[in-house]
Amino acid sequence: MSVVQGQDRHGGFEIGERYHSALDEALVGGDFYDIFRIGDDQLGIVIADVAGKGLNAAVYTAMTKYMLRAYALEDSAPERVLARLNEALTECTPVEIFVTLVYGVLDGRTGVFRYANAGHEQPILYSSSAGMAYNLDVTGRALAFVHGSTYTACDVVMRPGDLLALYTDGITDAGSGVNRMGVERLVRIVESEATHSAPDVANAVLNTALEFSGGRLTDDAALVMIKAVQAGVEE
């Protein structure tokens, strides 16, 4: 069992990242996040869950991560990156492997996060002006199911105080039986902690998930918090 913590700044944004591996690493699949630079002013941000178990899942996790990076560095548009990635994964993965994933591009100049969601958990966006959080749409099916899947990209304009939460189901499924953390509780945590830094919100979410699971997660958990702390250069 291991915990990975990270934090970063990109223009007017704070980023908090957390990864917590499950109790038995040999039995679980591959959750991961990835953050990489695209040019001077943009970041590629990914969170994903690769279905499968053990070493097999680890292989396809690495394949997914680095193929996506390669495609994004050629053409960063989320809808085209996911369409290309789906074709490659459908061709080269066994039928029991599929991937849910959110990939977006954060523009540090404009404050726009342009994303596509391939069947993954719905990101949560906290609006500081409205004082509430809501879920962002899924924009296409999971990767590696069928050839020819298409994906729609959506734009989110992040203003100072707004907070975006990306996560895997290891967070919301923490617990057992009917006593699980769940999406509604995650939304409430994001709303109640949104005035704090992105790393602090990430800690609050992970700590709550660990409380629900008695400190022993049975599935990998990954999350990325993105907080706008000042307006972009271009308004």
Q: Tell me the pLDDT tens digit for each residue of 60-118.
A: 999 999 999 999 999 999 999 999 999 999 999 888 889 999 999 999 999 999 999 99
Q: Tell me the pLDDT tens digit for each residue of 184-214.
A: 999 999 999 999 999 999 999 999 999 988 8
Predicted local confidence at residue 235, as pLDDT: 47
d(CA 191, CA 94) in angstroms, rounded, equals: 40
Q: Which residue has the higher pLDDT, 31 or 128?
A: 128
Band of pLDDT at residue 56, cut at 50, 70 and 90 = confident
- The rounded percent of the chain whose pLDDT value lies above 90 is 70
What is 3-228's CATH superfamily?
PPM-type phosphatase domain (3.60.40.10)
Band of pLDDT at residue 8, cut at 50, 70 and 90 = low
Predicted local confidence at residue 24, as pLDDT: 59
Q: At what angle do helices 182-193 and 198-212 cross, to 10 degrees?
A: 150
- Residue 39, number of CB atoms within 10 A of its CB: 10
Beta bridge partners of 44: 36, 105
Predicted local confidence at residue 233, as pLDDT: 44
Average the pLDDT over each of 52-56, 121-125, 138-142, 170-174 and give the range with the smallest value.
52-56
Band of pLDDT at residue 34, cut at 50, 70 and 90 = very high
Predicted local confidence at residue 3, as pLDDT: 45
Question: Does the pLDDT of residue 19 top 50, yes or no?
Answer: yes
Listed by start position, the domains of the chain span 3-228
pTM here is 0.90
What's the chain's average pLDDT?
A: 89
- The rounded percent of the chain whose pLDDT value lies above 70 is 89
Q: Three-class SS string for the chain?
A: CCEEEEEEEECCEEEEEEEECCCCHHHCCEEEEEEEEECCCEEEEEEEEECCCHHHHHHHHHHHHHHHHHHHHHCCCHHHHHHHHHHHHHHHCCCCCCEEEEEEEEECCCCEEEEEEECCCCCEEEECCCCEEEECCCCECCECCCCCCCCCCEEEECCCCCEEEEECHHHHCCEECCEECHHHHHHHHHHHHCCCCHHHHHHHHHHHHHHHCCCCCCCCEEEEEEEECCCCCCC
Question: Does the pLDDT of residue 52 top 90, yes or no?
Answer: no
d(CA 141, CA 135) in angstroms, rounded, equals: 17
Band of pLDDT at residue 166, cut at 50, 70 and 90 = very high
Q: At what angle do helices 78-92 and 54-74 cross, to 10 degrees?
A: 140
What do you get for the CA distance between the two ends of the chain, in Å?
A: 44
Q: What does the pLDDT average to over 44-59?
A: 84
Question: Does the pLDDT of residue 35 top 50, yes or no?
Answer: yes
